[in-house]
Structure 1
Amino acid sequence: MAKWQQRFRSLLIEHFSLPSDVILEMPRITIIGHIHFYIENHQGLVTYSENELKLKINKGYVQIIGTSFVLKMMLPKEIMLEGKIAEVKFLID
């Protein structure tokens, strides 16, 4: 990314109080215990099964491993997963 783009994004974050996760196109992840996983700002579903969820994010993938997975909500940029979560991995390109 060009230096001017980084400076512009910093300016937007600092002076206009815009959320950094939105400006930087980073995912916002909320995990409740080991049973709920909620993500915003993902770029698409790659893999879904009873034991794995893998989503494309800005600089790679996020992979959730566990058992008894059920998608409770799926919108274009948001997903809520329920099940027994064992691992959350960031796979960077």
Structure 2
Amino acid sequence: MSFKDFQRKFKKQFSDFFEIPSDVMLDLPKIVLVGHLQVFIENHRGIVEYTSEKVRIMVGDGEVGIDGKNLMLRNIKTDEICVEGQIKGLTLLEPGEVW
């Protein structure tokens, strides 16, 4: 077991014991899909790529890819972002993985 795996396991047990939400303790993204019209992402690290058909957003240990038409960024905050448009797909990418 690597040190990073040990840390993650410890943080998970800690958050479970003290009833702290895992997304906060483990620095995980919280992704809410509203139909095929909106995606809200909390705990993001910034925008990697943005076009009207593809949006890639950096999160903890990877990226979130959003595929669709007429995509627009809304409510960009330091910890939350909203993407609106005709959403066709949502992809979770690990570090170094190509979409």
Moved segments of 4+, more than 4 Å: none
Sequence identity percentage: 33
The reply on whether 1:33 has 2:38 as its aligned counterpart is no
The structure-2 alpha-carbon separation of the partners of 1:9 and 1:69, relative to structure 1 and needing over 3 Å to count, comes to same
Contact 2:12 2:26 in 1 (8 A): no
Q: In the TM superposition, what are the counterparts of 1:10-29 in structure 2 within 5 Å?
A: 10-29=12-31
TM-score, reference length from structure 2: 0.84
1: distance between equivalents of 2:12 and 2:65?
Answer: 29
State the superposition RMSD in angstroms. Answer: 1.4
Q: Which runs of 5+ in 1 are unaligned?
A: none
Give the deviation of 1:71 after TM superposition.
Answer: 1.5
TM-score, reference length from structure 1: 0.89
SS of corresponding position for 1:74 = coil
One-letter identity of the residue aligned with 2:52: E
* Residue of structure 1 aligned with 2:64, choices 58, 62, 80: 62
2: distance between equivalents of 1:10 and 1:58?
Answer: 15
Give the deviation of 1:87 after TM superposition.
Answer: 1.0
2: distance between equivalents of 1:7 and 1:86?
Answer: 34
Aligned to 1:42: 44
